[in-house]
Structure 1
Amino acid sequence: MIRREYIRRGPCQPSNYTFPKTKRNFVRKWFEKYKPWLEYSIEKDAAYCFVCYLFKNDSACGGDAFVNGGFRTWSKSSAFDKHVGNHMSAHNNAMKNFDIFNKQKSSIACCFEKFTNEAKSDYRIRLENSIEALRFICLQGLASRGHDESGKSLNQGNYLELVKIFTKRDKNTPRAPVLKTPGNCTLTSPDIQRDIISVFAKETTKKIIEELDGGFFGILADESADIAYKEQMSLCLRYVDKRGAVVERFLGIVHVGNTTSLTLKAAIQQLLLVNSLTLSSVRGQGYDGPSNMRGSINGLKSLIMNESPCAYYVHCFAHQLQLTLIAVAKKNVDCSELFDSLAILLNVIASSPKRKEIFRDKQAEHLEKALQMGEVASWSGLNQEKGLNRPGDTRWGSHFKTILSVFSSFSIVLDVLEAIGDFCDGLELVKVEKRHILCEHLILFSLDN
C-alpha cells in the first residue's frame, strides 16, 4: 500500500523552485532527461532515484548515493548516466520491478486468478439460487437431500429440484444452469448447504437478540439423547416483543457430558454468554419435573435463582400433560396389555448382545431378498440398519414410534422369535412361544382397530 501511494504521487520534481546557487547547482533540464526516476529534495538539496528507493534489491551493489544520503556533487553530472548503467545494473533491475508492479493486472498470475464479469455474474446467480432454495426448505421444514441425487434421477430431492427451477425462471441468464457450471463450483454440495444454513442460523439468532433488545426473558430448557446416545440440551427464550406479544424463540442446542444440574447450568450460561445475554436478565424458568431440574437444594432451578432471585420456576405444562396422558392410558385395559406385551417383546429380543445380533442378521436377510425382488431401492444413505425403539414414560410420542418400528419389522421380529426358540428348551421355550403368540395377536388386533 505504501509503494502504491508513492507511485500515485510520483517523483518529487519541483518545476518552479529556484535551486540554491553555489559553484554548481542542480539543473532543471535534468528532470526532462531523467524524468522517470530522478527526484529532488528541497530540504536536503539532494537528488534521489525514485525507482531504486522503492524497488532496489538490498543485495545489489551500486547507486547507494541516490538512495541513502542523496547525490549533491553537481559538477559530476555523468554520475546520473553511471547510475543508470548497463541493462543488468541495479537501477535497471529496479526499473523492471517497477514496471512489473505497475502492470500486475496484465501479469500471467493475475490472469489466472481474476474472474471475468460474466463468470462473476454466473457465480452470483448460482449462489442466490442456492440461498433461495435453502431458505424455502428451512422455512417449510422440508428435507433438502433426495434418496437419489445422480444425474439420471428424475427427482433429485427438494434442494436440487428447486435450484433448477430458480435457475430456469430467469430467461436472460442462459449461462447459469447448474448442469453447465464447473464441477467444483456448482454451489450445491452438502458442505455448501451446511455453510449456508449455518449463516441462516447466525442471522436468525442475531435478529432474535435485536428483537429482545436487552430486555428481560424466561428460559425453557430440556435435554435428550440423540441417535448416538449423546445428551443434547436445547434452550428457548420466552419474552415480550415490542408489539406486546409473548413470543418463544429457539436459541440453540448444545452437547452436555451429563445431566447434572451444575453441568446444565454451565451449558445454559455459556450459550447465553455467546449471545451477549446473562442470567441476571432471566425472569422465568420452565423445565420438566426431575430432581436435577426442579430440586429445591441443588436443582437447576435453585442454582439459577441464586444468581437471579426473580427467575421464578414453572413446571412445564407439556410435561405434566404427558404424564397425565400416560397415567390415563395405563388405566385402559387394552392399552395396558398392548404396551406390556410390547415391553416383553423388546426385552426378549434385546436382552443380550447375541439376540441383538440375530435381529441384525435377520434384518440383513430380509433386505437382501427385498433388493433382489426390486421391492426397495438401493442408494447411498438408504436401507440403514434399524433397531426397535423403546418407549419413554415422559414421551407419549415414543410409544407410537415403538408401535411403528414393530409394525415395519414385524416379519423380522417373528423370525427372530423363532430363532430364539430354536436355542431354548423346556420352560423357556414355552414362555417364548406364549410371548410370540400374545404379541402377534395383540399387534394384529391393534392393526385391525
Structure 2
Amino acid sequence: MEKRKARNNPEMEGPREAESAIEGLAFISKGFKNWKDGTEGFRRHEKSLCHIDAVQVMLVLPQTVPDVGEALSQAHAKEKALNRRMFVRILENMKFWGRQGLPLRGHDDAESNFMQLLPLQKLHTPELRAWLERRVDKYCSPEIQNEILQLMSHSILRNVAKSIHAAEVFSVMADECADVSNKEQLALCFRWVDQELEAHEDFVGLCQIDNISADTIVAAIRDCMLRLNLQVNRCQGQCYDGASNMAGHRSGVTKQLGDEEPRALFVHCYGHSVNLAMCDTIKTTVLTRDSLDVTSELIKSATFSSIIGQGQQSILDNYLVLQELWDEVLAGSVDPDVRARVIGVKAQMETFNFFFGISLARLVLAHGDNLSVSLQSSTMSAAEAQKIARLTVDTITKMRTENSFSMFWEATVAKRHQFDVSEPQLPRKRKRPQRYEGGDEPAYHPSSPEGHYRQLYYEVLDSAKSSIQTRFNQKGFAIYTQMENLLLKSAKGVDATDEFKAVTELYGEDLDSNLLLTQLSLLQTQLTSDDDVTFKSVLKFLRGYSTSQRQLLSEVVKLVRLILVSPATNAMSVRSFSAMRRIKTYLHSTMGQSRLNSVMLLHTHKDRTDALSVVELGNAFVDVTGSDHRRSIFGTFTDADLAA
C-alpha cells in the first residue's frame, strides 16, 4: 500500500521517481503539452510505473471478473443472479402455457392467465413478489411474451428444419381452413425419412392467405421452403385434397409444382378418397340414400342429441328407445314443424325398408371407417396404404356371396321381430323406362322379398368395391407401384427390367443405375428368396443394418426412402386445424398471426418443447441486438440459475 501511495505522490519518491511520476500525471489528469519532444515523452511513459500498473490491471481484470459492475459491487452480482432466477420462472411459465396450448392474455394484462399464475407461485417464492411489484423491468408485458414465444418457436422450427435437411428427400402436405375470425389459414407440413428409415411428419406453421387460389397457395409453399432453406428439387411428393385449386390438371398446386419438379408426385389424400368413396356408395343406391336422409332428419332432433350426450351414438342400438320417445313427444304439445318431422321419422322407422337400409349402410360404412382409421398413421406410406385398401376391397368381395347374404338376411329379419318393424314386402312392379326397352327379354322382377333385398345387397357391395378402387387408382401411384415391384422382384430373383427402366428414367441422376443394379443383386443373396418376401420384410432387414453397413446398399436405401417419403393421408394438416380451434377460440379471436404460429408450434411439437433449454432461451433473449440494458440486468444464464 505504501509503495502504491509513493507511486502516486511525487513528494514521497526520490528525484528520478518524482520526475517520472510528474510526467505520468500529464497522461492521467493534467494533460500532455510537450508535443515537440512527444515521442521521447511517450517512450519514457511506457517505462513508468503508473503505465505498467495500468497495463497489468487491463490484462488481469477481464480474466478474473467478467463484468465491471460485479467487480465494483458484489450487491450488483447478487441482484443479477436474483433477476436471472425470476426470469427463469417466467420462461418456464411461458413454456408450460405454449406446450398446453392455453391462452396467456385476458381482458387486460392484469387479468391475463399469465399474470394470474405468477402470483400463485410467489407464495412459495418471496423474491417473486418483489419482482412483480416493480414498476419497470418486470418483463411480463404482451410484447415480451410474444418475443419469448417467438424465441421458443424459432428454436423448434430450426430443429425441424435441421431434421428435414438431414433427410435426402421430403414431401409437402398442405390444406386450408378458415379460423374463428374467418381468416383463411394454410397449414403446411413436411414428411421426411430419417437415417433409421423411419418416416416422420412435422407441422411447420400456418400461413394466413387472402384467398384459396392455386397461385396464392403455391406462393405460400415456396415462401415456406425458402424460409426453411429447402430446395424444390428435393421435393419428391405432394399430398393434398382433391379440390380443383389443389389437384387441378391445368393450373392446380400439384400441376405448378409438378412442372417445376416432375419427381414431386401427387397423391390425393387417401383419407379424403375413402370419404368420397363411401359418399359415392351411399348416393348410388336409392335404398341407402333414402335411409341416410331419414337418419339425418333423426339426428337433428333434440331427443337423439340427448342420447348422444349419454355416449350411445348408434340408431340401431337405440331403436326401441327412440320408438318409445317418439310416442312421448307426440303425446305432448310440440311445435307443428317438430311434430311433422317426428311423425315422418316414426313412420319410416316402422318400415322394413328403412331398417334394412341402415343395417346395410352400417355394414359397409364400418369397413370404410376401419380403413380410414388405419390410413391416418403418420408412418403410413402411400404404397402401404394401397395394400390396406386392397385388403378392404377383398373383404367386401368375399362378402358378396350367397352364404354371407343369407347370414345378414337372417340376422336382420330376427332383429325385426324385436322392434315394431313391418314385414319385408315386394315393391310394386313398374314398367321399364323406354330408353331401356330393346330385345325380347322381359323385365326382371324378384319373386320374393328376399330376392329383392338380395339384389339391393349385391348392388351396395358392388358400388362400395368399385368406388374404393376408382378413388385409389391414382396416376401418381403408378410409379410407387413400379418402385416396390422393382425392389421385391429383384429380391426374389424375378426379372424386373421394365420397372428398372421406368424408375431410373424418372429419377435420373438421383439413382446410379449401374450401382443400383449391382446392389439389387446383392440384396437377393442377403434375403431368402421365397414368396414371403414383402416390402416390410425388406425394410426390417435394412433397419437391422448399421448406418455404415447400409452404405453397402446405398442405392437400395435411396429407393426405399423414395417409397416411404410419400404420405398416405394429409391427416397431420387436419390435426393442426383441430389444435388451431383449441388455441384461437371465440374469446381469443383477435390473436395475432405471429403469436398463433408460435403457440401452434409449441403445442404441436410437445416433445421438442419439453426439450427446450431454459438457459439457452434466457441467453438468446439477452443477446438480442442492441440489448445492452438486458445484459446489465441479467448477465449470463447458467445451469446454477435453474437449481436456485
Structure with the larger strand share:
1
User: If the length of structure 1 is used for normalisation, what is the TM-score?
Assistant: 0.48
User: If the length of structure 2 is used for normalisation, what is the TM-score?
Assistant: 0.35
Structure with more relative contact order (C-alpha pairs < 8 Å, separation 6 or more): 2
Structure with the larger helix share:
2
